[in-house]
Amino acid sequence: MTPRRVLTALAIVIGLAHLPFLASTLEDIDSVNFALGVRDFDVAAHRPHPPGYPVYIAMGKVAAAIVGAVSGAAAPSTIEARALSLLSWLAAMLLPFLVYRVFAAARAVRDQTPPWTGLDAPALATAALTLTNPLIWTMTVRPMSDLPGLTLALAAQACLLTAWWWQTPPADGDRRLEPEMTAMSGRMLVVGALLAGLAIGLRTQTLWLTAPVLLAVLVDRIGRGVAGALIGATMTSAIGALAWAVPLVVVSGGMQEYLAALGTQAGEDFASGEMLYLNPAPRLIALALVHTFIDPWDGWLLALPVLALAAAGAVHLLWRDRRTLALVAAMGVPYLVFHLLFQDTSFIRYAMPLVPMVAFLAVQGAALVSARAVIPVAAALSLAAVAVATPTTMTYATAPAPAVQVLDAINAEAAKSPPGALAMHQTFQRPLEAERVTVTPQLPSPPRREWLELTRFWQQGHTGPVWFLADPRRSDLALIDPQSRRDVVPFRWEPTEHLVFGGMRPAAVDWVRMTPPRWFAEEGWSLTPETAGMAALMGRAPHLGPITARVRRDPQAVRILVGGRSLAGPHDPAARFTLSIDGRVIDTWDVAPGYFLRIVELPSGSLALTPGALAPEGALAVANDPWAALTIASTAVSGSAPIPTAIEQFDLQPADTLMWAFDRGWYEAEYTPALGVWHWAGPAATLRVFNASSALRVTMEIESPLRYFGQPSDVVARAGTVELARATIADTTTWSFDVPAGTLPAASGEIVIETTQTFVPAERGGPPDLRALGLRVFNLRIEHVGLR
């Protein structure tokens, strides 16, 4: 069979296999931005996000017009999702031809034989393995620019490598056809340079795929008219780039406005992601390599044989065929360096342009067994890849993304019982612009300050329920009364459990249906690592001035729980904390450097507005203000230098309400975007519980101790002398145990968690951390038995 027939059959199979699963809703935030750009192009408004993707948006507008004409009364977001996923599908249909042509041309440059004569088995195997790669397989149905961008970049590479072959002197030394070959080389060089310029307008990262190949072609031409080729290629690339750059700048309102938008986006990208050029820590380097080479194959099971063959192929080329290795390196290594250093590698789709290079090297490794083994090995790996990727693709099409699910749910619920307001973390603001939302009003969502809009809403006197769309990775809602946010409806999406969807935003959403809170905190509270970071950013902390929580006035007795620490050195003086309500000092206490937990009991009537009460700013409190101002401040007991302090735990509830707190033996909360929030427990860690009027259930999610120790840990829970539970923890697990009614009063309300193994990071060559760490606990709940 001819290469064209084989590749056509492969393209048809790919197209038919994906057509039923094309996206009908938007999902990742980038897909939302692209859809909004198709609807109303405005880079300054992130429609789409800078640099603007003008070529992709132009293609999307054409596709949306076609899809819209046949979609009837479908919602605009549905039309845009189908149109953009259709572009990915069409790009995948072209991919086998382009991958084949690229690597056939690379072989032809090496062997000085025509790239279009006969069937090139290694190039065909590379095309098949590339197409069935789980990342590319799933990206074929997604409304994203990645696959169209890669396709256009491969088209440019194919033309440039074909130009390279045409400019290579014939192997037999016959130079009679050299003028015609040089002319053909020039034409292909111009086409390749033009496509390279256009590809940047589709996806800017393609520059690192096409420019090195163009440079390699020009370097090979030194001594044979390189100056003319350089001028022609440069002018053609410029024409391709100007074809989209000029309209882009004009539509953006001028160069200054466009550069301002681009600078803002660049700042956000560099601030939000973990990039190796900013932090080349060994752990991050290892993680970046896993994201880049393992995760695109959706796990080790498929990645190991592919990468083992690729490593063998790379070594073989280094030893026997360095020219081919150099060609392949020019096609992928510059992008690899750019990707590792300047992109957030947790976005797995960013690694997609490296898949063809890895596939080619794997095919070269298979060829070491036998030239005849290339097709069978590639076929076996491709079938395994399809078996891995197809269930993910099918799942992708069965349910919309979490943001779409929750919007459908709140629209339906609002038709029956609307809330007082809709609020959200900033990551959900953009999806709401693309979808129909019936709930009003919608509160603003300033990045990292969303909870302050809730505080303003409540201080304005609103008492209706608030629906809040929460990112489960965020923790700022800890600044709001936990009793008011117990009604949570989680929305999750099965595809995001697969590695190939790594980095998708938003990957999950919690619909928090808040009742009016008993209290909420303003700036300066360090109740979670996130809010501690915001307090530092805002320059607010107890030692810098009083921090405020607003407390609903209530005639009944209440209990206040305050936990925190003095961050002073071991030889510094103690810090004196002062808790006030409406300017009246309620309690003071001194804290030596380290941790503290303070309980304040307030009798009934303590929260009533008294004559002469002061607001935190020093003005008289408003007579009908439903909120009391609770403030906490700290000063040094002696000396004039301030002692840094932080409030890390706070709650205020009626005295008969179940409350609990971390006490001795627990370390401060920590956080990473990948893992969320956790606390380390030492060898014995105490939980303090108040008003345990009935049996309780303690539930904690514990990370596998085998990550740090050579054997499982034995864990015991005690209340005084009573053993509550015992377990041997090996794997990451959720451990629950019950506390019988009447057990805690005799133990002063204390539950002690003991573990048999601890380690000190500094003693293992880690950071200078002298804590004795035993259990890493990611979630901990204490509830009355039978209640959630």
Angle among Cα 148, 153, 157 to the nearest 5 degrees reads 145
Over residues 2-17, mean pLDDT: 93
Over residues 390-401, mean pLDDT: 95
Over residues 606-634, mean pLDDT: 74
CB 535 within 8 A of CB 541: yes
Output phi, psi for 223, to 5 deg: 90, -5
Over residues 210-230, mean pLDDT: 78
Q: What is the pLDDT of residue 291?
A: 97
Is the confidence at residue 732, as pLDDT, over 80?
yes
User: How much is the mean pLDDT over the chain?
Assistant: 91
Q: What is the pLDDT of residue 118?
A: 77
Output phi, psi for 181, to 5 deg: -65, -40
Angstrom distance (rounded) from CA 757 to CA 715: 9
Angstrom distance (rounded) from CA 108 to CA 114: 6
Task: For residue 715, give the 3-state DSSP assignment.
Answer: strand
Q: CB-based contacts of 683: which residues, under 8 Å, 6+ apart?
A: 665, 754, 755, 758, 772, 774
Q: What is the pLDDT of residue 46?
A: 85
Output phi, psi for 511, to 5 deg: -90, 105
Which of 178 and 734 is assigned the larger pLDDT?
734
Residues forming beta bridges with residue 775, ordered by sequence position: 681
Q: What is the pLDDT of residue 73?
A: 84
Q: pLDDT for 238-282, tens place per residue?
A: 888 888 888 888 887 778 777 777 676 655 554 556 788 888 888
Is the confidence at residue 622, as pLDDT, over 60?
no
Banded pLDDT at 218 (limits 50, 70, 90):
confident
Banded pLDDT at 106 (limits 50, 70, 90):
confident
Q: What is the pLDDT of residue 96?
A: 97
In one-letter notation, the amino acid at residue 128 is: A
Over residues 110-132, mean pLDDT: 85
Banded pLDDT at 172 (limits 50, 70, 90):
low
The DSSP secondary structure of 455-510, one letter per residue, reads HHHHHTT--S-EEEEE-TT--GGGGB-GGGG--EEEE--GGGGSGGGTT-SS--EE
Is the confidence at residue 176, as pLDDT, over 80?
no
- Asked if the bond preceding 51 is cis, omega within 30° of 0, the reply is yes
Q: What is the pLDDT of residue 674?
A: 76
Q: How far is CA 568 from CA 458, 541, 641, 663, in A?
A: 36, 14, 11, 19
Q: How far is CA 325 from CA 85, 284, 358, 383, 693, in A?
A: 34, 28, 12, 27, 72
Proportion of the chain above pLDDT 70, given as a percent: 92
Q: pLDDT for 272-302, tens place per residue?
A: 567 888 888 888 899 999 999 999 999 999 9
Angstrom distance (rounded) from CA 426 to CA 447: 6
- Structure tokens belonging to residue 618: 């020093």
- The sign of the dihedral angle between the CA atoms of 343, 347, 353, 359 is positive
Q: What is the pLDDT of residue 257?
A: 77
pTM: 0.91
Angstrom distance (rounded) from CA 688 to CA 752: 9
- What b/e readout covers 249-282, taking b as 16+ CB neighbours within 10 angstroms? bebbeeeeebeebbeebeeeeeeebbbbeeeeee
Is the confidence at residue 168, as pLDDT, over 90?
no
